Chain A
Amino acid sequence: MRPAASVLLLTTLTGFAYGLLTWLGLYVAAGAPPAARLLVLAGVGVSVILATLGLIASTLHLGRKERAWRAFSQWRSSWLSREGLAAVLTYPIALAFAWAQYRAPGSPAARSLGVVAALASLGTVYCTAMIYASLKPIRQWHNRHTAPDYLIYALFSGATLFALLHTLAFGTAALAASLAALGAFGALIAKLAYWRHVDAQSPIATLASAIGLPEGTPARPLDAPHFTENFILREMGFQIARRHAAKLRRIALVVGFALPLLFSLLAQLGTFPLASSSLAVACAALGLLTERWLFFAQATHVSALYYGRTV
């Protein structure tokens, strides 16, 4: 599948945004100190800005941007519609939560709104993940890893951001950095498990089945319908060299997960906490963008069978 910049930015930025909002909500629900009033306010601000940037990025790939509002209508059947609706509903929840926590820190209203904000955030990320997980023709997406993985990456990236904000507010990253380190470790394991799973999958279907011949009939392409590329090949037939992919996987593992784990641990131990937690965020962002690029580039689509590819 062609890795479109708009979708990579959308899923990565909203991962940070909703991950951060989840942690802020849980932080307040668990009894954040009154001194954290501004931290929560600023955190919700950062989350809202990142989510908005991500959602704007997502509209860039639309053929008819001016009609984007129509995407809220089909929530009964479409995960994309549900994602849009969940993202929009999360705005007033986030703002109400920030306002309640600012006006009356630690009040029951603020605490319960914190839980609601966390649930709305995770719900939005889940909807995003299900857009991919529900697509049967793409075996690398339509599996039991996709939805939990998106939630894990959001919680991980949000925790690195939470640790950075906590360091900016109080000079130490404390518990937040432990969460980020734990998140990085969880994300690393999840990514390795995902690659292990997709690498061991067998092809979804054969060319014989795609052209209606009995299973096992040998078939190979003789003539393609056209000499040049077309939409199907550009969008669904994206290919990446195996060696190139292996290199990018190593980069994603080291930059996206191992380095943030290291920097979060350093921040937790109080070693240059500001620099460490900043580096953890920067590495997580770069690594997750790489990981997301691979999630698309290495995904194969059944329709490419007709052009002689293995899927």
Chain B
Amino acid sequence: MTMLPQRGTEARKMGLVIDLDTCVGCHACAVNCKEWNTGGEAGILPDYDPYGEKPDGVWFNRIHSYETGTDGCARTVNFPRSCLHCENPLCVTVCPTGASFKRAEDGIVLVDTDLCIGCKLCSWACPYGAREFDEQSGVMRKCTLCIDRIYDDSLPEAEREPACVATCPAKARHFGDLADPDSHVSKLVAQRGGTDLLPELGYRPTNKYLPPRRAQIQTAPRETCGAAGQGIGGALLRLLDKALSR
């Protein structure tokens, strides 16, 4: 059923909040995602030519690094990219078979791979590039928000969170109900000014990104080589430099 479910304002919106300020770009979330979703029952993420010249394969999560800002005060922003479980997911409504759907109870967007015909139209409809085609089984794959972890009663309660969140060494990934204003994730979004990606396209993503903060610690500018050439120390250094560069 690819019609979007009727979801009231109180309906749960399970999703991620990703802190671009603390993400160190280590790819651990992507690796643990791959590990969990290859081994679990929810999905098999194939690899093509894994040890060859052109390794390729399906990943639910990919980590980009960007340089932002202007010359002089540029900074690195590491950016994990995965499904945002949008409230207005065009990937769901374009699906001709009913394989793609948005769950009414928690807003998670899933693919029923038993119904998917592999037409790839959903991947064209997603502006975030979150869906990847599985060449081996001929169906579309996407992030499940680790639905097989978050509702698994046999796991200790603390472990009922997506694999990417559980593994993040920088605690840059947070999981919770974004419809509940008192949840940990909603508070983070409110405090830190969490933003939507590509809001102008109108997909209303559930996942939010916390923007990088300005540096709080002011450090004195480091002495440059030119400034070190004064006095007796400078003369000695120049002498040493001359001797060494012969």
* Bound CA span A1–B125, Å: 12
Contact residues, B64-115 vs A (CB, 8 A): 64-70, 76-77, 79, 81, 90, 92-99, 115
Decide if B132 touches A80 in the complex (CB within 8 Å): no
Evaluate contact between A80 and B115: CB separation under 8 angstroms.
no
CB distance from A13 to the nearest CB of B (A): 18
Q: Which residue of A lies closest to B194 (CB)?
A: A212
Q: Which of A67, A217, A302 contacts B127 (CB 8 A)?
A: A302
- Contact check, A212 vs B127: say whether CB atoms are below 8 A apart: no
Taking the closest CB of chain A, its distance from the CB of B54, in whole angstroms, is 5
From A68, A77, A204, A214, contact of B117 by CB (8 A): A68
Residues of B within 8 A of A210 (CB): 128, 197-198
Of A80, A138, A231, A303, the contact of B128 (CB 8 Å cutoff)? A303
A175 CB-CB contact with B under 8 Å = no
A235–B123 contact, CB under 8 A? yes
Residue B180 at the chain A interface, CB threshold 8 Å: no
A74 closest partner in B (C-beta):
B2
Contact A303 B96 (CB under 8 A): no
Q: Is B38 an interface residue (CB 8 A)?
A: no
* A271 contacts across to B, CB distance below 8 A: none
The residue in chain A whose Cβ has the minimal distance to the Cβ of B119 is: A62
- Known A71-B119, A74-B2, A302-B201; contact A232-B64, beta-carbon cutoff 8 A: no
The residue in B25, B54, B59, B68 that gathers the most chain A C-beta atoms within 10 A of its C-beta is B68
- The DSSP consensus for interface residues of chain B is loop
Q: In the complex, A229→B59 CA distance in Å? A: 13
1/0 contact string of A209-232 vs chain B (CB within 8 Å):
111111001111111111111111
How far is the CB of A1 from the nearest CB of chain B, in Å? Answer: 7
Q: How far is the CB of A26 from chain B (nearest CB, A)?
A: 30
Tell me the minimal C-beta distance from A84 to chain B in angstroms. 7
Q: Assess the B132–A232 pair: CB atoms within 8 A.
A: yes
Q: Is the CB of B119 within 8 A of A219?
A: no
Nearest B residue to A2, CB-CB: B120
Tally the A-B contacts, defined by beta carbons under 8 Å. 200
Question: Does B235 sit within 8 A of A, measured CB to CB?
Answer: no
Give which listed residue, B20, B96, B116, B201, contacts A73 with CB less than 8 A.
B96
Closest Cβ of chain B to A55, distance in Å, is 13
B182 touches A (CB below 8 Å): no
B94 adjacent to A306 (CB under 8 Å): no
Expressed in whole angstroms, the Cα–Cα distance for A226 and B90 within the complex equals: 27
Smallest CB–CB gap between A227 and chain B, Å?
8
Are B132 and A229 neighbours in the complex by a CB distance under 8 Å?
A: no
User: A63 contacts B117, CB within 8 Å?
Assistant: yes
Assess whether A219 is in contact with B117, with CB atoms less than 8 Å apart.
no
Of B133-141, B147-155, B169-177, B218-226, the one touching chain A = B133-141
- Residue-wise, chain A 90-113 has the 8 Å CB interface mask toward B (1 for contact) of 000000000000000000000000
User: Interface 1/0s, chain A 189-224, versus B by CB < 8 A?
Assistant: 000000000000000110111111110011111111
Contact B96 A137 (CB under 8 A): no
Question: Which A residues are closer than 8 A to B by beta carbons?
Answer: 1, 61-65, 67-68, 70-74, 76-81, 84, 131, 134-138, 204-205, 207-214, 217-232, 235-236, 301-304, 306
Given contacts A74-B3, A77-B3, A137-B124, 12 further A-B contacts (CB under 8 A): A64-B117, A67-B116, A68-B117, A70-B98, A71-B119, A76-B3, A209-B199, A210-B197, A213-B212, A217-B69, A303-B126, A303-B128
Q: List 8 A-B contacts (CB under 8 A).
A: A61-B119, A72-B96, A77-B3, A137-B127, A222-B66, A223-B64, A227-B55, A235-B133
